[in-house]
Amino acid sequence: MQVLDLFSIRRAIWRHFLTIILSGVLIYLFSEVHGRWDPMHRWNRATADASFILLTLTMALGPASRLWPIFTRFVIFRREWGIYAIFLAMIHIVIILAGWVTWDILGIFGLAFHPTLGRYVMVQHGFGLANLIGIVAFFYGLALMLTSSDRAVRFLGGPIWKFVQRGAYVLWALMAVHAGYFLFMHFVDYHRAVPQPNPLSWPFVSLIVLVLTLRSAAFFQVLRQARRDRKRTRPSALS
């Protein structure tokens, strides 16, 4: 039993190591894509993009493994990919706080202090709403990350744990909406300077469409299989 536990721990450490390498490669590649942006936007986007890719991989892997069994060998990485997706989102938030709103918490919600009125006023409605969605997604993801362990499975019980973890698709949808605002809407303001266009906007849309397509295909495959099983087990009229 102890030998088996030691083997499982080593495999988990190896998966974490590979995921850290993958995360580092993604951050580096995205930082190169955004190399012409100022440092804050460059690393803000690089960490956010890497986080979204890791989470998208976890969302795509389930239906892909159902459609093509060869992908089942990668299912064991879903936990680590999800954990580091949230960890990178945390770094993304810190960069936003330090470099964009300079630790003015209300600034995240699109508010700015008006010296004449002596109070905070709304100056960026879309910015505030998009960040609110992002914050909800982060805390939702944090809850999923904290329950991504064998100990959590034993504590919550299998059915409850599965119910909680199925919320990952809600998390992914919230992150997609949050990212979509900054990819297509925030930087089209006419009265302030904007960074260079994000070349990854439409590739990210393609990823979202791919995941939705995989999920739809997997759903219909399960539906067809269920119908076949019912036909096999249905008693004949002569029996």
Model confidence pLDDT, tens digit, residues 109-140: 989 888 888 899 988 888 899 999 999 999 99
Q: Residue 73: what residue type?
A: R
Q: Helix 39-67 vs helix 168-184: angle between axes, to the nearest 10 degrees?
A: 140
Q: What is the mean pLDDT of residues 211-218?
A: 93
Share of the chain above pLDDT 90, in %: 46
DSSP category for residue 189? -
* Distance, CA of 60 to CA of 137 (rounded, Å): 18
Provide the whole-model pTM. 0.87
DSSP category for residue 192? S
CB 19 within 8 A of CB 81: yes
CB 31 within 8 A of CB 88: no
Please report which helix (H) or strand (E) contains residue 10, including its range: helix 2-33
